[in-house]
Amino acid sequence: MSSTLIGLVVLMMACAPSAALAQASADLELPSGEIVARLVGDDAETGRLDVALEALGAKVVHVSSERYSYSGKWSAEGLIDGFARIRNALGSLVSDGWQNEPDDWPPEVVIGFHDERAPVVDTLILEPAAERHLPIDFAGSASPSEVPRFVEVLAGESPEPEAFERVATVRLSNRTVPQRIEIAPRAIRYLKLRVLENYGAPTMGLAEVKVFEAPSAASILDDVERNLARPALGGELVAFTSQDRDNLAIELVDGRADRESGWASAESTVGDAARLPQDLVFGFRGHRVAMVERVEIDPTSGSRYAVGNFDENWPRLVSIGVSQESPSGPFEALGRFELTQQSQAQSIPVGRPARYLRVRVLENHGGARTTIGEIAIIEAISDAGSVLVGEIADGWNAGIATSDDTFSLPDGRGEREPNDEMPESLLLGSQVAGAIEPLDDIDRFALALPGDEARMLRLDAHSGGLWRLAFDLDNAAGATVKRFRPSARSGNRIDLTWQLNPGDYRLSLWEPERITALVWDTSDSMEGRAEALERAVRGYVESLGKHESLLLFPFSDDVESLLDQPSREQPDILEALEGHFRPFGGTHWFDALAEALEALAGHAGQKTIIALTDGQDTGSETPLPELRQRLQASDARLIAIGLGPDLDELGMATGATGHGVLRSLAQLGSGRYVVQPSSADLPALYAAIAEELSGIQHYALAATAVEATGRLAVRQIGEPIPSIVAAPGFTLVLDGSGSMRRQIDGQPMIEIAREVMTELVGDLPDAVEVGLWTFGHRVREGQTGDCTDIEQLVPLGPLNRERLLASLSGVAALGTTPISETLERIGAALPRDGNPQLIVLVTDGEEECRSDLLEVVEALDDDGLQLSLNIVGFALDRPEVLAQLAEAAEAGQGRFVNAAQASDLAAAIEGALAVPFSVHDVAGDVVGAGLIGDSAIDLPVGRYTVRVETRDSPLVVQDIEVVADTTTEIRLDKQAEDIGVAIMERP
Residue 437: the pLDDT is 82
Nearest to 606 by CA among 468, 451, 498: 468
* Least confident stretch, 398-407, 782-791, 922-931: 398-407
Q: What is the DSSP string of 430-475?
A: -EEEEEE-STT--EEEEEEE-SSS-EEEEEEEE-SS----EEEEEE
C-alpha–C-alpha distance, residues 79 and 105, integer Å: 18
Q: Compute the C-alpha angle 10/218/11, nearest 5°.
A: 5
Looking at residue 9, its pLDDT comes to: 31
Q: Residues of the chain with pLDDT > 70: what percent?
A: 86
Q: Per residue in 523-570, pLDDT tens? A: 999 999 999 999 999 999 999 877 899 999 999 999 999 999 999 999
Q: What is the pLDDT of residue 510?
A: 86
Please state the separation of Cα 110 from the chain's center in Å.
42
DSSP lists the bridge partners of residue 508 as 444, 472
Q: Which long-range contacts (CB under 8 A, 24 or more apart) does 422-426 make?
A: 423/506, 423/507, 426/507, 426/701, 426/703
Q: Is 774 helix (H, G, I), strand (E, B) or coil?
A: strand
pLDDT of residue 396: 35
Residue 716 burial by CB count (10 A; 0-12/13-18/19+): exposed, middle or buried?
buried
pLDDT at residue number 436: 85
For all residues of the chain together, what is the average pLDDT?
Answer: 84
- Average pLDDT score over residue span 303-325: 83
Q: Which residues contact 323 (CB under 8 A, 6 or more apart)?
A: 329, 330, 331, 332, 354, 355, 356, 357, 358
Residue-wise pLDDT for 642-682, tens only, equals: 998 889 899 998 989 999 999 989 888 668 899 998 999 99
**Most confident by average pLDDT, 274-278, 430-434, 661-665, 712-716:** 661-665
Read off the pLDDT of residues 754-801 as tens digits, 9 standing for 90 and up: 999 998 888 777 778 899 999 999 999 889 999 999 999 999 998 899
Helix-strand-coil split of the chain, %, nearest 5: 20, 35, 45
* Count of CA atoms in the C-beta half-sphere (13 A) of 538: 15
- pLDDT category at 504 given cuts 50, 70, 90 is very high
pLDDT at 100 over 90: yes
Instruction: Name the pairing type of β-strands 837-843 and 867-874.
Output: parallel
Q: What is the pLDDT of residues 433-487, one digit of tens each?
A: 888 888 788 888 888 999 888 888 988 888 877 788 888 999 999 999 998 888 7
- For residue range 232-255, list pLDDT tens digits in order: 999 999 999 999 888 999 999 999
Start-to-end CA distance of the chain, whole Å, equals: 69
Q: Report d(CA 332, CA 321) in Å as an integer.
A: 5
Q: What is the pLDDT of residue 461?
A: 86
Q: Determine the average pLDDT of the residues in 490-495.
A: 78
The least confident of 3-7, 181-185, 230-234, 930-934 is 3-7
Confidence at residue 272, expressed as pLDDT on a 0 to 100 scale: 53
Q: pLDDT value at position 306? A: 65
**pLDDT (0 to 100) of residue 745:** 85
- Compute φ and ψ for 687, nearest 5 degrees: -65, -40
Give the pLDDT score at 728.
Answer: 54
Give the pLDDT score at 982. Answer: 65
pLDDT at 38: 44
**How far apart are alpha carbons 464 and 462 in whole angstroms?**
7
| pLDDT computed for residue 270 by the predictor | 52
Q: Is the pLDDT of residue 2 over 50?
A: no
pLDDT at 231 over 70: yes
Per-residue H/E/C for 262-310:
CEECCCCCCCCCCCCCEEEEEECHHHCCEEEEEEEEECCCCCCCCCCCC
pLDDT above 60 (res 20): no
At 813-830, the pLDDT tens digits run 999 999 999 999 999 998
Q: Quick one: 978 exposed, middle or buried, by C-beta within 10 A (0-12, 13-18, 19+)?
A: middle
pLDDT digits 0-9 by tens, 49-81: 999 999 999 999 999 999 987 778 889 999 999
Q: Which of 20-29, 308-317, 497-506, 754-763 has the lowest mean pLDDT?
A: 20-29
Give me the amino acid identity at 308: G
pLDDT(315) > 70: yes
pLDDT band at 410 (very low <50, low <70, confident <90, very high): very low
Q: Which amino acid is at 765?
A: P
Higher pLDDT, residue 466 or 899: 899
Q: What is the pLDDT of residue 46?
A: 57
* pLDDT for the residue numbered 330: 78
CB 979 within 8 A of CB 973: yes
Lateral strand order in the sheet of 424-425:
424-425, 443-449, 503-510, 470-475, 480-484
Element (DSSP H or E) covering residue 710: strand 709-717
pLDDT of residue 12 exceeding 50: no
Q: Please tell me the number of Cα atoms within 13 Å of 541 on its side-chain side.
A: 24
List beta partners, residue 315.
364
pLDDT confidence of residue 726:
55
Range scoring the smallest mean pLDDT among 311-320, 444-453, 485-494, 907-916: 485-494
Mean pLDDT within 879-901: 89
Among residues 639, 609, 631, 620, the alpha carbon closest in space to that of 559 is found at 620
Cβ atoms < 10 Å from Cβ of 656: 25
- In whole angstroms, what is the distance from residue 691 CA to residue 400 CA? 9
Least Cα distance to 255 among 302, 298, 207, 311 occurs for: 298
In this predicted structure, what is the pLDDT of residue 29?
45
Instruction: Determine contact, residues 865/823, Cβ cutoff 8 Å.
Output: no
**CB 80, CB 22: distance < 8 Å:** no
Instruction: Kindly indicate the confidence band of residue 419, based on its pLDDT and cuts at 50, 70 and 90.
Output: low
